[in-house]
Amino acid sequence: MSTVLDTTRTQAFAEQALGIVNGGFLSLMLSVGHRTGLLDTLATLEPATSDRIAAAAGLNERYVREWLGAMVTGRIIEYDPATRTYWLPREHAASLTRAAGPDNLAELAQIVAMLGQVEGAIVDVFRKGGGVDYRAFERFHALMAESSHTTLEATLLTRTLPLVPGLVDRLDAGVDVLDMGCGEGVAIRMMAQRFPRSRFVGVDIAAEAIATARAEAEAANLTNAQFLAQDAATFSTPAAFDFITAFDAIHDQAAPRRVLRAIHEALRPDGVFLMVDIAASSRLEGNLDNPLAPFLFTVSTMHCMTVSLAQGGEGLGACWGEEKARELLAESGFTVVDVSRVDGDPLNAYYVCRP
């Protein structure tokens, strides 16, 4: 490390740091824009005044105008001072609206606000160790379900299930399926609807998420889906399932090895385990070119790792990476047949495993 201060580098980094801080604030504004529907409304309007935008979105004009100030100076929304009109360029809408599906980064921005709520508790555990419990994260299950729905709608039936040769035919014929760490049950609902002859079980430790999963399955008249509020580490139903999935539900487990062993035990001999988990390298330097890495390490520090440590768990972290994942899968008795990526899901790697 050089001891001479490079003033050009100092200046360049100061600008980078300012961009980072401004980006953090703008993330909060994007989150508000997503939750209030402002970004979606703007995408449907011609250049419009703040009065017109507020009326179209059914919101308070004074707040909308201040929010527009952040959006215009942040170069997200354009403004014509002569007519006092604002518009969202179509090229920007392609990354910021519900119509953009899995490309909607405003949906992701909500996580910044969620993590902000636990910052005090996180600072505390930096000092004294331990973790912050799942229950501290207001809106976690709702946010997770929203983002899973967006991704799964674009990927699950058309791109993900076909990763396993013959699986769609087996699901059509009727098999037993388990989704471990199912949250509010989005994946189960989609599969149970599409494959009425198969039987689906969702397991999650969070009673409130399971209650929502049950209510939504009932509302959709799904008689082939059931949900259990249970700790995955103590799940013991030997050779009962033909297909088991875990969507982003292994890396934040307290006891991931026990959960993988429980999944292995629950599979029938010709069964398949599809583990969908964060695409990362177990070596820090292997993540430098991943544009999502700062996001992933932040979410891990303030959620995935800490919820595991809060239970005295292993605290693998979101970026446990492919090398470590393969190690744990092998240790639990799995053969990893394939690891691939799915278009429409930039976050995850898809591990197809046989017992």
Ligand X SMILES: C[S@@+](CC[C@H](N)C(=O)[O-])C[C@H]1O[C@@H](n2cnc3c(N)ncnc32)[C@H](O)[C@@H]1O
Cβ proximity to ligand X, 33 vs 185, nearer residue: 185
Euclidean distance between CA atoms 103 and 80, whole angstroms:
28
Q: Which two tokens stand for residue 265?
A: 């035990």
Q: Are 285 and 259 in contact (CB under 8 A)?
A: no
Specify the DSSP element, H or E, that contains 85: strand 85-87
Q: How far is the CB of 144 from ligand X (least distance, A)?
A: 4
Cβ proximity to ligand X, 48 vs 296, nearer residue: 296
Q: How far is the CB of 229 from ligand X (least distance, A)?
A: 9
Euclidean distance between CA atoms 98 and 106, whole angstroms:
9
Q: Which two tokens stand for residue 259?
A: 């959960």
Q: Are 59 and 50 in contact (CB under 8 A)?
A: no
Cβ proximity to ligand X, 56 vs 240, nearer residue: 240
Q: Are 174 and 196 in contact (CB under 8 A)?
A: no
Cβ proximity to ligand X, 48 vs 114, nearer residue: 114
CA dihedral 145, 220, 176, 161 (to 10 degrees): -50
CA dist list (Å): 176 to 102, 173, 185: 29, 11, 16
Cβ proximity to ligand X, 61 vs 133, nearer residue: 133
Q: How far is the CB of 187 from ligand X (least distance, A)?
A: 7
Nearest to 259 by CA among 145, 316, 181: 181
Greatest CA separation for the chain: 71
Q: How far is the CB of 41 from ligand X (least distance, A)?
A: 27
Could you tell me which residues come within 8 angstroms of residue 11 by beta carbon, excluding any fewer than 6 positions away?
Answer: none
Q: How far is the CB of 220 from ligand X (least distance, A)?
A: 17
Q: How far is the CB of 136 from ligand X (least distance, A)?
A: 13
How distant is the alpha carbon of residue 59 from its chain centre? 28
Q: How far is the CB of 296 from ligand X (least distance, A)?
A: 12
Q: How far is the CB of 22 from ligand X (least distance, A)?
A: 29
Q: How far is the CB of 275 from ligand X (least distance, A)?
A: 11
Cβ proximity to ligand X, 31 vs 148, nearer residue: 148
How distant is the alpha carbon of residue 269 from its chain centre? 31
Could you tell me which residues come within 8 angstroms of residue 169 by beta carbon, excluding any fewer than 6 positions away?
Answer: none
Cβ proximity to ligand X, 41 vs 155, nearer residue: 155
- Contact residues toward ligand X (CB under 6 A) are 144-145, 148, 181-183, 186, 203-206, 209, 231-233, 247-249, 252-254
Cβ proximity to ligand X, 26 vs 209, nearer residue: 209
Cβ proximity to ligand X, 45 vs 293, nearer residue: 293
Specify the DSSP element, H or E, that contains 274: strand 267-278
Euclidean distance between CA atoms 135 and 243, whole angstroms:
30
